[in-house]
Amino acid sequence: MTPTPTLPIVIAVIAIVLAFLVTSPLLIASLCVLGLICLAWWFILDRRNRRG
Tens digits of per-residue pLDDT, 25-42?
A: 888 888 888 888 888 888
| pLDDT tier, 43 (very low <50, low <70, confident <90, very high otherwise) | confident
Measure the CA–CA gap between 27 and 17, rounded to whole angstroms: 12
Within a domain: 20: yes
| pLDDT tier, 1 (very low <50, low <70, confident <90, very high otherwise) | very low
| pLDDT tier, 5 (very low <50, low <70, confident <90, very high otherwise) | low
Within a domain: 2: no
Within a domain: 1: no
User: How confident is the model at residue 2, as a pLDDT?
Assistant: 53
CB count in 10 Å sphere of residue 9: 15
> Has this prediction a pTM greater than 0.75?
no
Within a domain: 37: yes
CA distance to 12, 34, 39, 44, per residue, from 8 (Å) = 6, 10, 6, 11
Measure the CA–CA gap between 24 and 8, rounded to whole angstroms: 24
Residue 35 structural domain: 7-51
* Domain tally, the chain: 1
